[in-house]
Structure 1
Amino acid sequence: MTTGDASAAPQGPPQDALAGRLKRTELQHEHSSVPGRDIVQVLTEIPAGVESGWHTHPGEEVGYILAGHVEMKIAGREPLLLNAGDHFLMPPGTPHNALDLGPETGMMLSTYFVDPERALASFVAAP
């Protein structure tokens, strides 16, 4: 098991598209017992008023809001208003965009069950 800061965590292949927009710390990255899938856990900090941009993941995202107020826009659905203590599940390949509503920095813990050969996040056009 890998724990600690991002520099101690293994670096997955291709770069994550969100790395330039948000502060993201990879907490752990391990092979799953399911062939072709890795489990990646990430702490994401979104400053007030900042959005992630529309993106997808190559597998499920199980998320939990640790702090702040986040509007989660999901393609084909009504936006979710998430507060500290709320959780969400994002299906594979589903375009979504997180906006921190402030006033404080939003923090979310996300666990991804993903294809290790693909980038953890990829930008897509807004639906």
Structure 2
Amino acid sequence: MRVTRIIAAALMIAGSGLSLDHSSAQQQQVQRTDLLQSDISIPGREVSQVRVDFEPGAVSIKHSHPGEEVAYVIEGSLEYQLEGRQPVTLKAGETLFIPAGTVHLAKNVSNGKSSELATYILEKGKPTVVPAK
């Protein structure tokens, strides 16, 4: 019985290590670079701009934001999957509005690197990205 518990614990530890490696690999495939964060004239709100670079085949985590997002594709093609909507693919020069609190993800569907400029109008003091459960 004790051996079974030790094996089960070892498998859980190994499994959690694998998921950490996968998470780390995903973070390396999707890189966020903060460009700007500033108060705006609307009380309790701030603006934030982030460049997000996606390696070929990279997919973001499912997430939402405590405010609106405007995504502008700088290069490549990105498929956006917003909860309750059909997926939409945007190429360089195209934009998408994502309402506050909408769970979504983005996926690089081009053969090379894809990048977006994300502009957020957020609730001040809240995290930019909220992982979906």
Q: Same fold (TM over 0.5)?
A: yes
In structure 2, list runs of 5 or more residues that go unmatched: 1-25
2:56 aligned with 1:40: no
Where do residues 15-54 of structure 1 align in structure 2 (5 Å cutoff)? 22-54=30-62
Aligned residue among 46, 50, 73 for 2:81: 73
State the Cα RMSD in Å. Answer: 1.5
Deviations 1:81-107 (A, max 9, x none): 111111000000000010001211110
2:101 aligned with 1:109: no
Greater radius of gyration (CA) = 2
* Kept in 2: contact 1:28–1:41 (CA 8 A): yes
Partner Cα separation in structure 1 for residue 83 and residue 65 of structure 2: 13
* C-alpha spacing 1:33/1:21, structure 2 compared with 1 (3 Å): farther
Partner Cα separation in structure 2 for residue 70 and residue 21 of structure 1: 14
Q: Which TM-score applies when normalising by structure 1?
A: 0.80
Q: Which TM-score applies when normalising by structure 2?
A: 0.77
Question: Larger helix proportion, structure 1 or 2?
Answer: 2
Identity of aligned residues (%): 32
* C-alpha spacing 1:39/1:20, structure 2 compared with 1 (3 Å): farther
Partner Cα separation in structure 2 for residue 84 and residue 40 of structure 1: 21
* Kept in 1: contact 2:46–2:122 (CA 8 A): yes
What amino acid is aligned across from residue 34 of structure 2 in structure 1?
Answer: E
Count how many residue pairs are aligned between Structure 1 and Structure 2.
Answer: 108
Partner Cα separation in structure 2 for residue 21 and residue 47 of structure 1: 5
Give the structure, 1 or 2, with the largest relative contact order (CA under 8 Å, sep 6 or more).
Answer: 1
Deviation at 1:21, TM superposition (A): 5.8
2:126 aligned with 1:118: yes
